[in-house]
Copies of this chain bind each other. A is one copy, B any other.
Amino acid sequence: MIDLSTKLGSLELQNPVLLASGVWDFPYTKIIDFKRLGGVICKGVSPFPKEGNPPPRITETHCGLINSIGLENKGFDYFECEILPELKKLGTKIFVNIFGESIEEFKEIASKIKEVAGVEVNISCPNVSKGGEKFGKDPKMVFSITKAVCGETDLPVIVKLSPSVENIEETAQAAKEGGAMAVTASNTFPGLVIDLESKRPLFKRITGGLSGPAIKPLALYNVYRIKNAVDIPIIGSGGISDYKDVLEYFIAGASAVQLGSIIFNNPLAPIEILDNLICWLGEKGYKNLKDVNKK
C-alpha cells in the first residue's frame, strides 16, 4: 500500500489532491468519486448574494482559459441552509472559500462557519470591483483580514494569495503573521482578450483571470518563492494537469494542491492523477509521498 497522505499544518489529508474553489458543484459527484479526494474547496461564498458578471464569462486561450465569473453565489444564508449540509455528506474534507468586500464582511461570515475542515480566505479574485485582488495586493490588508478571520473562528484558516504582486513572499508573510495555518499560491492571473468583432475587450470588466496549464510555471514559481522565504504550509494552485505537475508542486514546496480548470478539460483528471501518483511512487520505490522530498 502506497501512502499518499500529507500534512497541511495541523491537518492530515489522505492525499494532496483537492478540488479548487469555483470549478465544481454537486453534479460532479456523478463523475468523480469524492471519497478518493484529499478534500474540496467550495465556490466562494459572500455574506450577501452576488449575481456575478454579465456574460460572456469565459473564453479559451492557448492551453488555458480566462474567466470573469465575478463570484456569483446566493449568499451565506442560502449556503448555510442549502449547500453546507450537502457538502458534509460528500465524504471528504470540506474547506469553505469565503469572500467579503470589507473586513467586517469577512468577520461576519467567518464567525458563522462551523464543522468543516477549514476556511479559505479569497483575497485574490481578479474579477470583482470591491475586495478581491485589491485586498490581496496589499500586505497590510492581507494581515488585517487574516487576523480578523482568525479572531472569529477556531478552524484552520488558509489565505489564497494573489499572483498580481511583485513579491508574493510579502503577502505570504503577512498571512502568516495574521495567523493563517496555510496559504494557497496562487489564484488566477489577470489577462486580457480583445474581441475582434466589436474591437473591444471581450469581458465587460475588461480583464478576466487566466488559469490552466498556461500559467503553471508562473504559479509553481510562486510556491517556490514562498517556500524559500516564509515558514508556512503551502497549497499549490495553478495549471496542474497531470501527476507530474503535482510532483513538481510538491518538490517546489507545496504540501497539497488544488485542481481547477483541468476538470473542464477532463473531469476524470483528479482520479487519474491519484492513480498515476501511486504508480509513480511504486515505480520509484517510494512507500510514502513524504519520502519524495527526503534527500
Contacts and interface: CB of A to CB of B under 8 A. Distances in A.
B189 A218 contact: yes
Contact of A252 (B166, B194, B244, B292): B194
A63 B213 contact: yes
Contact of A216 (B62, B196, B206, B218): B62
A192 interface: yes
Interface of A: 61-64, 66, 137, 164-166, 189-194, 196, 199-201, 206-208, 210, 212-218, 220-221, 224, 239, 241, 244, 247-248, 251-252, 292-293
Contact of A166 (B165, B196, B206, B224): B165
A206 to B, nearest CB: 8
Contacts of A212: 62
Contacts of A191: 216-218, 220-221
A214 B210 CA distance: 10
A214 B216 CA distance: 10
A194 B220 contact: yes
